[in-house]
Structure 1
Amino acid sequence: MPALPSWLTEPLWDQFAALLPERPEYHPDHPLGCHRQRIGDRIIFDKMLQLLRFGCSYEAIAGTTCSATTIRDRRDEWIRQGLFVRLKQIALESYGRIVGLVLDQIAVDGAITKAPGGGEAAGRSPVDRGKQGLKRSGMTDGYGIPLGRVLAGANRHDSPLLAPTLDRLNDLGPLPHDITVHLDAGYDSDKPARCSMNVASTAASPTRARRRLSRPASAGMSNAPTPGRTSSPGSPAATNGAPPSSTPSSTSPIPSSPYVA
């Protein structure tokens, strides 16, 4: 049974295949010009769609066509080449053009997940007996469409991750003049404001810093759940599917900062 219907996978593969670099037909270092045949990229691509769709392990999805090690190696190769970052950018741009991203309402929140394999960003989890875990600081638009995330150790607080998470907005092109950022009680301090001030003042490019300073976000602090998950004032669920307004009705404003309050 296919993970996704062909009318969806075929255009997705065509777009991904266009990002793949050219590869020589034969191994250049082999004296006879022959080597073990490389598993086709389309096979690995379909396997990865199955992993995302069914949530199974690499060993469970491997078969006679390719091994679990091959899937992992090809995944790491594509990550190093930046293919998934470019594919994500294309997907967001296409969605924004066809459906429309609600960028005047942004929700940011953190979540702790397991990381049994460790990794550079993993740390001791405070909710899993000190085992390895990750803190995922995610950002969505007003309808809950993922816009970006930042990974850190599970023992990191949400507040210091707010500024690098909002940094992902720079990849989305033109932004609305007024942006409301919905946060939970974990951000109820002056740390988010200080982080945004530091990011604006220490940006790598002066032009980039001025752009942030010239477009301050009218942010609000709210204890309401993330927009798009449960009904909360100003969220799509509370407006019967209507796009949220750029002026929040239930958030209490706090002093504005160059990027977010």
Structure 2
Amino acid sequence: MGQRRPWEVDDGLWERIAPLLPVVERRIRYPGRKRLDDRRVLNGILFVLYTGIPWEFLPQELGFGSGMTCWRRLRDWNEAGVWQQLHELLLAELRARDVLDLPRVSVDGSHLRALKGGDATGPSPVDRGKTGSKHHVIVDASGIPLAATVTGGNRNDVTQLLPLIHAVPPIRGKRGRPRRRPDVLYADRGYDHDIYRRQICELGIRPLIARRGTEHGSGLGKNRWVVEAAFALLHWFRRLRIRWEIRADIHRAFLTLGCVIICWRRLKPSLQ
């Protein structure tokens, strides 16, 4: 049996995705063309995520269906909340198996070009004012993404600090109430604003944020490096290195799907 290609959904992940997909009843009268198998279409979506290939160039011979079919399913499943539900499901499983380290989290942002413009874009201050977006990510102490958002490239990282914290879903997997808030939050100098420190403290979280104007070597890097590692994994997916989508919701769907795959990779060893 040949080696599974990275964009091919394995049985374990498919068992978790399939129950979340909305059921589409085929019309009895005027049924039209038979609906393409969901798993094949998902493989096509992942092929685009991994390779960055334009939808219209999706190889038909691989059985994915047309690029438009894959795009529509990505859109419809995103609107149905499939990717977010799947992310929360995997986070709960990771917590149940003691893989998540939730008391400590790190946040950061990363620029990327948005070549076609669209929602949640803006002139990037680090790319000569060219149109861009930002990925904002919050990860646990081991680098597992808990939530990710997309904004314009001109948005200051610190403005997304509280939205990121609130974007972390209630994570189940243990007896008792779901865990949502960390104990400690690490961030770099870009988040050094006292007003946000106070707001974080009001949420019951201890902020450990590097101070601007001080020398490097605070020691916080030994805890914050995991968020940089998470960005490296996310941007290993070529569709997330450059934003090609005009619609921000489609790009967010890809970003959440990237977080899902990272979570699944971390979960699989604990299942064996």
Fold shared per TM-score above 0.5 = yes
Larger mean Cα displacement after TM superposition, 152-161 or 13-22? 13-22
Match of 2:48 among 36, 47, 51: 51
Query: In the TM superposition, what whole-angstrom CA distance separates every residue of 1:16-51 from its partner, at most 9, and x where no partner exists?
Result: 11112222122x6xxx42312222211111122333
The Cα of 1:130 is off from its aligned counterpart by 2.6
* Maintained 8 Å contact 1:109/1:183: yes
Q: Identify the range of structure 1 (82-91 vs 63-72) with the bigger mean alpha-carbon deviation.
A: 63-72
Q: 1:48 to 1:141 in 2, by over 3 A?
A: same
State the superposition RMSD in angstroms.
2.8
Task: Give the structure 2 partner of residue 138 of structure 1.
Answer: 137
Alpha carbons of structure 1 residues 110 and 5: separation in structure 2 relative to 1, 3 Å: closer
1:58 and 1:13 map into 2 onto residues whose CA distance is 23
Would you say 1:221 and 2:220 are equivalent positions? no
Whether the aligned pair in 2 keeps the contact of 1:142 and 1:227 (CA below 8 Å) is no
> What aligned pairs does 1:23-102 form with structure 2 within 5 A after superposition?
23-26=24-27, 32-64=29-61, 65=63, 66-102=65-101
1:159-190, CA deviations, whole angstroms, 9 ceiling, x for partnerless residues? 11100011123432544987111110111221
Instruction: Give the match for residue 191 of structure 2.
Output: 187
Gaps of 5+ in 2: 173-177, 211-217, 230-272
Do 1:104 and 1:178's aligned partners in 2 also have CA atoms closer than 8 Å? yes
Using the alignment, how far apart are the partners of 2:200 and 2:124 within structure 1? 26
* d(CA) in 2 for partners of 1:82, 1:72: 15
Cα displacement (A) at 1:12: 1.1
- 1:113–1:133 Cα contact (<8 Å) kept: yes
Pairing of 1:116-131 with structure 2 (within 5 A): 116-131=115-130
Percentage of pairs with the same residue: 28
Structure 1 residue 128: deviation in Å? 2.6
Q: CA deviation at 1:15?
A: 1.5
Give 1 or 2 for the bigger CA radius of gyration. 1
Q: Aligned AA for 1:110?
A: G
Preserved contact between residue 51 and residue 61 of structure 1 (Cα < 8 Å): yes
Is the 1:139–1:149 contact (alpha carbons within 8 Å) kept by the matching residues of 2? yes
Q: One-letter code of the match for 1:123?
A: G
CA distance in 1, matches of 2:13, 2:102: 25
User: Which structure: greater helix fraction?
Assistant: 2
Higher mean C-alpha deviation, range 62-71 or range 136-145: 62-71
Q: Contact 2:7–2:43 at 8 Å: present in 1 too? A: no
CA drift at 1:78: 0.7
Once residues 112 and 85 of structure 1 are traced to their aligned partners in structure 2, the CA distance between those partners, rounded to angstroms, is 23
Deviation at 1:106, TM superposition (A): 0.7
The residue type paired with residue 5 of structure 2 is A
Whether the 8 Å contact between 1:160 and 1:195 is mirrored in structure 2 is: no
Determine the C-alpha separation between the residues in 1 that align with 2:181 and 2:86: 27
Distance 1:96 1:39 in 2: 35
What amino acid sits opposite 1:81 in the alignment? A
Match of 1:3, as an amino acid?
Answer: R
Provide closer, same or farther for how the CA distance between residues 74 and 43 of structure 1 changes in structure 2, counting only shifts above 3 A.
same
Contact 1:180–1:218 (CA under 8 A) maintained in structure 2: yes
Deviations 1:176-207 (A, max 9, x none): 9871111101112214235548xx6xxxxxxx
Q: Give the structure 1 partner of residue 22 of structure 2.
A: 21
CA distance in 2, matches of 1:69, 1:177: 39
Instruction: Provide closer, same or farther for how the CA distance between residues 119 and 177 of structure 1 changes in structure 2, counting only shifts above 3 A.
Output: closer
Of 182-191 and 46-55, deviating more is 46-55
Which structure has more relative contact order (CA 8 Å, sep 6+)? It is 2
- The one-letter code sitting in structure 1 at the alignment partner of 2:205 is A
In the alignment of these two chains, the number of paired residues is 210
CA–CA distance in 2 between the matches of 1:177 and 1:146? 14
